Amino acid sequence: MRAFSFFVLSFLLSMVFPLGSMQAHGTGESVEKVVGEYLIDIGYSLPELKAGAPVYFDFNILFNKTQENVAFTDIWVQIAKSSETFFASGISKARFGGTTMAYTFPTGGEYELKVRFQNEGETVEETSFPFQVAAGNAQLSKTSLFSPALFLGVFGGLLIGFFLSIFVKKKA
């Protein structure tokens, strides 16, 4: 029964975090801005932002002079186009890994992403970045549901689950 549980858990994790999908700073792009004594860095997973395509953002704040991480507990993010807000939410800092979010821009155009880093309710720093989003198909197509990253994630999860189930079965 334990082996089956590990298999199921691995499969579910592969669905939530497919291999290759959370690569914001690994192979994607990054924008940086010096604000006061801080360097605010936002990475994103796509080389070109396109309406209808999910993009993964990660957020970091460093001391500009030393490049050391600045302590923060959460961020507030707002995505707006002209005077219309499309997304606004607080995001807690991740206990491990980067502080990230996924978003799909509904239409092309000029957007502004505002971010405020907070530590225990106090504002550390805030700024905004403009993003140009290319027009695209705002509706998911059937083929986009079967992307290579999703396929690799599912296959990787199944493979990991299979080997974990064998390993756990041998120990039992």
pLDDT digits (tens, 9 = 90+) for 62-71: 999 999 999 9
pLDDT at 96: 83
pLDDT at 95: 86
User: How confident is residue 47, by pLDDT bands cut at 50, 70 and 90?
Assistant: confident
Domain map of the chain by residue range?
A: 2-171
pLDDT at 142: 43
Whether residue 14 has pLDDT greater than 80? no
pLDDT at 160: 73
Contacts of 24 (CB under 8 A, 6+ apart): 30, 43, 44, 45, 56, 57, 58, 98, 100
Give whole-number Cα distances, 70 to 8, 10, 31, 64, in Å: 37, 33, 17, 10
Q: How large is the C-alpha radius of gyration of the chain?
A: 19
pLDDT at 94: 85
The CA-based dihedral angle spanning residues 116, 122, 124, 127, taken in that order and rounded to the nearest 10 degrees: 20
pLDDT digits (tens, 9 = 90+) for 55-103: 999 999 999 999 999 999 999 999 999 989 999 999 999 888 889 999 9
pLDDT at 166: 75
Contacts of 88 (CB under 8 A, 6+ apart): 76, 77, 78, 79
Closest among 135, 59, 73 to 102, alpha carbons compared: 59
pLDDT at 24: 40
pLDDT at 155: 63
Whether residue 25 has pLDDT greater than 60? no
pLDDT digits (tens, 9 = 90+) for 120-172: 989 999 999 999 999 986 444 444 445 566 556 666 666 676 665 776 666 66
Give the separation between CA 7 and CA 171, rounded to whole angstroms. 15
Find the farthest-apart pair of alpha carbons in the chain and give their distance in angstroms, rounded.
61
What's 2-171's CATH class?
mainly beta
Q: In sequence order, what E strands does the chain have?
A: 29-35, 38-44, 54-63, 74-81, 84-92, 99-104, 109-119, 122-133
